[in-house]
Amino acid sequence: MTNTNSLLEITNLKKYYGLTKAVDDVSFNIENEEIVTIIGRSGAGKSTIMRCINRLVMNNGGSIKVDGIEIGNDISKKQLLEARCKIGFIFQHFNLVYRLTVFQNVMHGVLGRISTFDGIIGRYPEDDKEKAYEILKSIGLEDQIYKRAGELSGGQKQRVAIARALMQEPKLLLCDEPIASLDPITSRTIMDLIVDQAKQRGIACLINLHQVEFAKEYSTRIIGMREGKLVFDDTPINLTNDKINEIYGSTDDIDELNPEYELAAVSGGAVAVGY
Amino acid sequence: MATDNKVSQGTGIDEPSNHERHTTNLLDRIKNKHRSTMNSQHNNILVPEEVKKLKKLYNIIIVIVLLAFILATIQTNFNPVIIFAKGGNFIDFVVNDLTPPNFKGVLGLGDALLQTIAMSMISTFFGGIIAFCLCFFASYQTAPHPSTVKIVRGFASMQRNIPNTIWLFIFRMTFGIGTTIGMVALLFNTTGRLTRMFAEVVDEVGKESMEALDSVGAGYLKKLFQCVIPASIPGFVSWLLYSAEINIRAAGVVGALGGGGIGLILSSYLSVFRYKTAFGIILIMAATTILVSLVTDYLRKKVLV
Ligand SMILES: Nc1ncnc2c1ncn2[C@@H]1O[C@H](COP(=O)(O)OP(=O)(O)OP(=O)(O)O)[C@@H](O)[C@H]1O
Ligand SMILES: [Mg+2]
């Protein structure tokens, strides 16, 4: 674990929201070409870790290194933008600009690399445009290029988001519940797409998932989180039922019919962690 | 959001995840309850929703005005019966003095009408441009510093909450009558109103898409032009058209009080009791107003697809 050449190095990461320890002293590394999934209950801190990595959220302690660059409090604005360029991010809710076309959304992937003026007027290098077209073709969206992103189905939207992330030519791809808003069949297509593309392009992936079966099937390594702590970090084969119970807690921890559970979930998910 | 709900309730792979999704949906639903009603990103029904809200507001205003009228009637011992008793006078006035409307012999009527239309359109246009530049400082989502939000909003509220007519009186005292002060009075009001409304449109831009542009390493200006502005355009256009409609109406009143244009001509005919001609001018003003609202309605439908 002390390999200094790791693509991503997370050491003693801490993130608190008031009294909530969203991420509590978590350390792990990710090497090139690894496909790692994080599983854990709602509120375990999975999204928070991801957001700390590209600093959409600032951590309270510990260190994060991506490709040798320390993403910490004293990173300059320019360095941060450059680092983010190297990190693709796929969101649960696709996060596209729905008024713009599929193509325009995909081209957003290169915004980090072009000049501010070009970015403002949306002028992109020709070879990037060709590349965008290639990517759209390879993920089966070449017929939708000039459609507005808002007019697509959920699965198509997520494919556009994947194309946007691929345009970044990232070294690391973070996927925060990429299939949680999709039906089971589309989910499988999207997972296949993410993993295939990542393998083809030599991109390492860190994926938050709720489906343990998918995690076992697709990843080279699984990380289990519980109440902000890392409780499992091993290959899928070693994720036994006992371990799964340890990560998720036994099912009678929560009373599904208890209305308070829902209320708490609405007000921030504290009970879902199992307080 | 709507699709999320549908999809995730229909799937049931394993218990914890399904349950989880249900709760996230609940969360999302509550969070987005407000947003989904007029989110310009996800649907384009912003206009009808806004219009509905306005209609509701007007209904409330009508009720309040009626109540105030009844109270005032009691307070001032005003006797509504007088209206009926002297109603003959009114009918007499309408039949003999007001009708038939006279459209002839008004000097410079066409020019004055054009001036009024120009006054309202120019003030809408420039008000829109100024508001466009200011609104990003007035929304917490895009403000470079939180303090600019309060400053710009305060400035806009001041402009907006002082009516056109008051602005006109202020300018008339300083500069005398004419279309310039009429236009500036309209411009002040429009800028204030549009800055507030545009800022609200920007507030409604999905945080999600802005986050996505953060994640690709786009800086502030790129984010503004590639995400915030495209997502806000329908809202901006809709408020701009609404403003054009309001201003064509206001231009008449402002004109009559010294702001020039057809309003000023109307007031001069009224002051010398030439009611038939005045009535003709009123009809022309009404026709213009209706025409402008027809055009803006048409544009709204065309532009906001
Ligand atoms: N912006 C925030 N403000 C306050 N608390 C937050 C915030 N974001 C997350 N939290 C809290 O941090 C904890 C971890 O949240 P996080 O979103 O990382 O969980 P998660 O594992 O991704 O859950 P889910 O599976 O529901 O997405 C939760 O207790 C949550 O309430
Ligand atoms: Mg999450």
The Cα B94–Cα B92 span in angstroms is: 6
Provide the 10 A C-beta neighbour count for residue B305: 7
C-alpha separations of A167 from A162, A201, A274, B5, B239 in Å: 9, 11, 40, 30, 36
Nearest atom in ligand 1 to the alpha carbon of residue A273 is 29
CB pairs under 8 A between A and B: 150
Please tell me which residue of chain A has the smallest CA distance to B215.
A84
Predicted local confidence at residue B43, as pLDDT = 43
Tell the residue nearest (CA) to atom 30 of ligand 1.
Answer: A43
Subunit contact B226:A119, Cβ cutoff 8 A: yes
pLDDT for residue B1 is more than 50: no
Predicted local confidence at residue B176, as pLDDT = 79
Subunit contact B211:A120, Cβ cutoff 8 A: no
Q: Is the CB of A144 under 6 A from ligand 1?
A: no
> Among A121, A137, A169, where does a domain finish?
A169
Predicted local confidence at residue B204, as pLDDT = 92
C-alpha separations of A14 from A49, A227, B269 in Å: 9, 12, 78
Please tell me which residue of chain A has the smallest CA distance to B225.
A120
Given pLDDT bands bounded at 50, 70 and 90, which one contains residue A272?
Answer: very low
C-alpha separations of A127 from A84, A131, A159 in Å: 21, 6, 21
pLDDT for residue A268 is more than 80: no
Subunit contact A184:B230, Cβ cutoff 8 A: no
Find which of A98, A151, A153, A174 to mutate to test the B interface (most B CBs within 10 Å of its CB): A98
Q: Is the CB of A98 under 6 A from ligand 1?
A: no
Predicted local confidence at residue B161, as pLDDT = 85
- Rg for chain B, CA atoms, rounded: 25
**Same domain assignment for residues A100 and A27:** no
pLDDT for residue B97 is more than 80: no
Given pLDDT bands bounded at 50, 70 and 90, which one contains residue B9?
Answer: very low
Looking at residues B253-276, what average pLDDT do you find? 82
Looking at residues B13-31, what average pLDDT do you find? 44
**Same domain assignment for residues A57 and A78:** yes
**Same domain assignment for residues A47 and A175:** yes
Nearest by CB: A154 against B3, B13, B218: B3
Ion ligand 2 nearby residues (CB, 5 A): A 47
Would you kindly state where each structural domain of chain B is located, as residue ranges?
46-97, 107-303
Domain count within chain A: 2
Q: Which residues of A touch B21 (CB under 8 A)?
A: 180, 210
**Same domain assignment for residues A112 and A144:** yes
User: Which of A75, A56, A59 has its CA nearest to residue A13?
Assistant: A59
Looking at residues A84-104, what average pLDDT do you find? 95
Q: Is the CB of A20 under 6 A from ligand 1?
A: yes
Looking at residues B284-299, what average pLDDT do you find? 90
Give A16-42 pLDDT, tens digit per residue.
Answer: 999 899 999 999 999 999 999 999 999
Subunit contact B227:A211, Cβ cutoff 8 A: no
Provide the 10 A C-beta neighbour count for residue B202: 25
Residues contacting residue A215 through CB under 8 Å, at least 6 positions apart: A37, A39, A207, A209, A222, A236, A239
Q: Which residues of A touch B41 (CB under 8 A)?
A: 97-99, 150
**Same domain assignment for residues A156 and A29:** no
**Same domain assignment for residues A41 and A113:** no
**Same domain assignment for residues A250 and A182:** yes
Residues contacting residue B255 through CB under 8 Å, at least 6 positions apart: B116, B119, B179, B182, B261, B262, B263, B264, B266, B267
Flag whether the pTM goes above 0.80: no
**For position A185, which CATH number holds?**
3.40.50.300
Tell the residue nearest (CA) to atom 28 of ligand 1.
Answer: A43
Average pLDDT of chain B is 79
Given pLDDT bands bounded at 50, 70 and 90, which one contains residue A249?
Answer: confident
Q: Are B13 and B7 in contact (CB under 8 A)?
A: no
Looking at residues B12-29, what average pLDDT do you find? 44
The Cα A112–Cα A86 span in angstroms is: 9
Given pLDDT bands bounded at 50, 70 and 90, which one contains residue B83?
Answer: low
> Among A169, A196, A230, where does a domain finish?
A169
Residue A134 belongs to domain spanning: 95-169
Q: Which residues of A touch B14 (CB under 8 A)?
A: 211-213
Nearest by CB: B7 against A84, A183, A210: A183
ipTM of this model?
0.85
pLDDT for residue B28 is more than 70: no
Looking at residues B172-195, what average pLDDT do you find? 87
**Same domain assignment for residues A128 and A219:** no
pLDDT for residue B26 is more than 50: no
Q: Is the CB of A48 under 6 A from ligand 1?
A: yes
B180 touches chain A (CB under 8 A): no
Q: Quick one: fold of B107-303?
A: MetI-like fold (1.10.3720)
The Cα B115–Cα B95 span in angstroms is: 31
Q: How many helices (H) and strands (E) does chain A have?
A: 11, 10
Give A202-233 pLDDT, tens digit per residue.
Answer: 999 999 999 999 999 999 999 999 999 999 99
**Residues B60/B38/B28/A141 CA torsion (nearest 10 deg):** 160
Please tell me which residue of chain B has the smallest CA distance to A51.
B215
